Structure 1
Amino acid sequence: MMTLAAEIDHNGTSPEKLLAPVLSTFWDQPESWTLETYRRHEGYEGLRKALAMDPDDLIAYVKDSGLRGRGGAGFPTGMKWQFIPQGDGKPHYLVVNADESEPGTCKDIPLLFANPHSLIEGIVIACYAIRSSHAFIYLRGEVVPVLRRLHEAVREAYEAGYLGTNILGSGLDLELTVHAGAGAYICGEETALLDSLEGRRGQPRLRPPFPAVAGLYACPTVVNNVESIASVPAILNKGKDWFKSMGSEKSPGFTLYSLSGHVASPGQYEAPLGITLRQLLDMSGGMRPGHRLKFWTPGGSSTPMLTDEHLDVPLDYEGVGAAGSMLGTKALQCFDETTCVVRAVTRWTEFYAHESCGKCTPCREGTYWLVQLMRDLEAGKGQMSDLDKLNDIADNINGKSFCALGDGAAAPIFSSLKYFREEYEQHITGKGCPFDPAKSTAWADDKTAHAHRGVNA
């Protein structure tokens, strides 16, 4: 997390009153990832309190705290735990989705790298609540340094008695398996993740049945995001009222905002839900010198883009939803006026076409044709009728595919046409991109024009 104690925002409020370092409170300390450091910061105290409760009471406590899933959809975490049937005679599983791969999203990987024990403690608490004796962490396989650090943290937890048999004398037995994925974006979708974990090709399942009834190995399964589970220990340790004192009524608590793009100080900013992008930019030094905000994403590239008109939108689930987008993973990608919207959306669309698993026709065929149209438009070969065709194809994908990848591919199309249709038309009438460094004055004074243009790709 960024250290901002010396700065003051435009309202005279000190940054430490706007920020809420909980998960990130000791990221900057030497060896923050070790068990010793975690214990110095009340590590595993929440677990002790949880083990003293009845599992059903524990589920109700987390539900009453108002904790919502931090992976994108914002579904209440305690309610998801409550869906697991009890007394069914089947094994129950907890699967942590650490397959972070949404363009612009970068919160779970830094969290695991700097503070993996917060996740492990949360896993033990969750498994006690849902009566599970085996948990899995599905980690994105490319992040080898994080994989090694996570393996070491799991080893420390076993050695200290926080994993294994009869944890802290409670009678709870728990095995934790860390599984490295093979780099498929689609495996971030929970049912595709489960298929991959079982050794099959990662493709979304048709629901029902839902994972809570028939998930991993056809047994009741909870699939939670890293940040969701890592937030639980602090709630148990400091209390649900403390947690609800932050954020808004329907979106309580703290969360990690990932600020990236054309900003002066990109990084992780842990703050209560409901903070605004304007406040975050004020704290981080704003956009890069000499430039202004043009458009941004509130939750990665699969959430509809917003513009500088939305700087004061509360960054919680209701506020962003009312503005016509989704909070998603709180990946705040900020783009300045030198960015070509058509180019940026083309690159995102190419990503979704490449990562489509191909199982359902709307997504498989639709993303392909979106790419063809977007490439023509960017190159100045499009026609005005192509804009309506873009909208039509995106509409035929949105809400009609097996999973949310199709919706994510359609979101940048819809929103960019809504706010920047004129820029699309300029590509058509001008027979090319007005932001081309060889043609545009927008890049003339920027010595790093090509480098920044590459960032947008």
Structure 2
Amino acid sequence: MTPVLSKHWADPEGWTLAAYRRQGGYQALPKALRMQPDEVIATVKDSGLRGRGGAGFPTGMKWGFIPQGPGPDGAPVKPHYLVVNADESEPGTCKDIPLMLATPHTLIEGVIIAAYAIRASHAFIYVRGEVVNVLRRLQAAVGQAYAAGYLGTNIQGSGFDLEIVVHAGAGAYICGEETALLDSLEGRRGQPRLRPPFPAVAGLYACPTVVNNVESIASVPSIIANGVEWFRSFGTEKSPGFTLYSLSGHVTRPGQYEAPLGITLRELLTYAGGVRKGHTLKFWTPGGSSTPIFTDEHLDVALDYEGVSAAGSMLGTKALQIFDDTTCVVRAVLRWTEFYAHESCGKCTPCREGTYWLVQLLQRLENGQGHETDLDKLADIADNINGKSFCALGDGAASPIFSSLKYFRDEYAEHIRLGACPFDPARSTFWAEGAR
């Protein structure tokens, strides 16, 4: 384990400014403010930090896309904005909320440095409205930062000004998609935008905007404070650094495990006490429910962006949901698909209609009323969603369908042959009391 972001989570006063300073907080900020903004971008780019929100896009490169200097017609540059995506809603993902609750100043210091680097004078932190305790904790920490002179005008005599707005979302899964989040911030219904233009050119209020995940931004202060080589000493060559792995489900000690990128699930399970006593691993997600599932054959896959991709899935948010041998695959996939059908924004036909019909087929199969042709229908509908929806969240709904049919087609067929689910509902449901 490599506790960096989570090192002080056990401190009951760790959320306060005084505790954060005692832990070495706000030491990276003056160092960054002595650098030129382009130097900060180059440092983050050289570190190899990749987005921790799902896609793994290089953070420094994303910052570098923000246009600098006057436009081609000599017009002044539009204002730049930094937006932190804290709308954590992917089933199984639970790393950003504890980070903001335990050490919110880690995020705030990262926001200040990132905003300085991209020359933004306004930053927004978009938080799920349901997590009121996190919202209040973050607002209190922002207030402390203002009072201490870390926010506002002329920060630490540098001439740099920054205002931070903590914005509460309304609980829509689609707002985790960056352009839908921007529409929501502007007061409109959260729905994905057509791209191009990309947010780096025309994002919030049609101005150049960087949208980053909480963990991505919170990793920046330690990179500035300790240097590129220190950060690259963790992880792998193409996926450097440390990250938070969220283990949940049928595991002895669920929780957050901060480790270098490239660790395997087999090793993580040794820290988490293994699969619950008396049972064996059946399948698991490497990055939340929208990533193709793995089985016990993938215990030794390197959990970095390249390793997971080569094995046929995505690292995503590193939400490792563990399912043991009592779990009905059809029921688990049905629960996920019901979530995607409910949370579809309805903007595009493939996702809006496709997720609805996937639920109907899966319910029929789970209830023992399926037909042999239903399995091909499932694959066909998922194919009509995958790559054809307005945003990547449609692809996420198709992923569990494809992967579960790939590894557990016989279990689907067993539902049809028996005319019922072969698993005891009291023991097989992932969310049942006995599975906790």
Q: Distance in 2 between matches of 1:417 and 1:46?
A: 49
Contact 1:298–1:326, Cα closer than 8 Å, also in 2: yes
Question: Hey, what does 1:378 align to over in structure 2?
Answer: 366
Question: Hey, what does 2:26 align to over in structure 1?
Answer: 44
Q: Distance in 2 between matches of 1:369 and 1:437?
A: 23
Question: Hey, what does 2:290 align to over in structure 1?
Answer: 302
Question: Hey, what does 2:336 align to over in structure 1?
Answer: 348
Residue 187 (structure 1) aligned with residue 149 (structure 2): no
1:430 aligns with one of 394, 418, 436: 418
Question: Hey, what does 1:367 align to over in structure 2?
Answer: 355
C-alpha deviations, 1:116-154, integer Å up to 9, x for none?
A: 001000000001100000000000000000001000000
Q: Distance in 2 between matches of 1:346 and 1:294?
A: 17
Secondary structure of the corresponding residue to residue 180 of structure 2: helix
Secondary structure of the corresponding residue to residue 111 of structure 1: helix
2:17 aligns with one of 17, 35, 59: 35
- CA 357–437 in structure 1, closer or farther in 2 if over 3 Å, else same: closer
Question: Hey, what does 1:64 align to over in structure 2?
Answer: 46
Q: Distance in 2 between matches of 1:437 and 1:363?
A: 29
Question: Hey, what does 2:111 align to over in structure 1?
Answer: 123
Identity value in percent: 78
- CA 55–305 in structure 1, closer or farther in 2 if over 3 Å, else same: same
Question: Hey, what does 1:329 align to over in structure 2?
Answer: 317
Query: Shift of the alpha carbon at 1:87?
Result: 1.8
Greater displacement, 336-345 / 46-55: 46-55
Long gaps (5+) in structure 2: 71-76
Question: Hey, what does 1:138 align to over in structure 2?
Answer: 126
C-alpha deviations, 1:138-189, integer Å up to 9, x for none?
A: 0000000000100000000000111001001110000000000000000000
State the one-letter code of the partner of 1:359: K
Residue 320 (structure 1) aligned with residue 308 (structure 2): yes
2:202 aligns with one of 214, 230, 235: 214
1:17-416 pair list within 5 angstroms: 19-88=1-70, 89-416=77-404
State the one-letter code of the partner of 2:223: I
Greater displacement, 339-348 / 46-55: 46-55
Q: Distance in 1 between matches of 2:404 and 2:57?
A: 27
Query: Shift of the alpha carbon at 1:326?
Result: 0.3
Q: Once superposed, what is the RMSD of the aligned Cα atoms?
A: 1.3
Contact 1:105–1:300, Cα closer than 8 Å, also in 2: yes
Q: Distance in 1 between matches of 2:12 and 2:133?
A: 17
State the one-letter code of the partner of 2:40: L
Contact 1:186–1:203, Cα closer than 8 Å, also in 2: yes
Long gaps (5+) in structure 1: 1-18
Query: Shift of the alpha carbon at 1:452?
Result: 3.5
C-alpha deviations, 1:85-130, integer Å up to 9, x for none?
A: 0124210000000000000000000000001001000000001100
Secondary structure of the corresponding residue to residue 255 of structure 1: strand
Q: Distance in 1 between matches of 2:199 and 2:432?
A: 46
TM-score normalized by the length of structure 1: 0.93
C-alpha deviations, 1:65-99, integer Å up to 9, x for none?
A: 00000000000000000000012421000000000
Query: Shift of the alpha carbon at 1:437?
Result: 4.0
Q: Distance in 1 between matches of 2:393 and 2:303?
A: 23
Q: Distance in 2 between matches of 1:213 and 1:68?
A: 20
Q: Distance in 2 between matches of 1:449 and 1:222?
A: 37
Query: Shift of the alpha carbon at 1:436?
Result: 2.8
C-alpha deviations, 1:403-457, integer Å up to 9, x for none?
A: 111100000000000000000000000001000348xxx77xx9x995236x6xx
State the one-letter code of the partner of 1:260: S
Count of residues in correspondence between the two structures = 430
Secondary structure of the corresponding residue to residue 346 of structure 1: helix
Query: Shift of the alpha carbon at 1:41?
Result: 1.4
Query: Shift of the alpha carbon at 1:30?
Result: 2.5
Question: Hey, what does 1:420 align to over in structure 2?
Answer: 408
Q: Distance in 2 between matches of 1:95 and 1:265?
A: 34
Runs of 4+ aligned residues of structure 1 deviating over 6 Å after TM superposition are none
- CA 24–84 in structure 1, closer or farther in 2 if over 3 Å, else same: same
Contact 1:349–1:409, Cα closer than 8 Å, also in 2: yes
C-alpha deviations, 1:240-291, integer Å up to 9, x for none?
A: 1000010000000000000100000000000000011000101111011111
Q: Distance in 1 between matches of 2:393 and 2:304?
A: 22
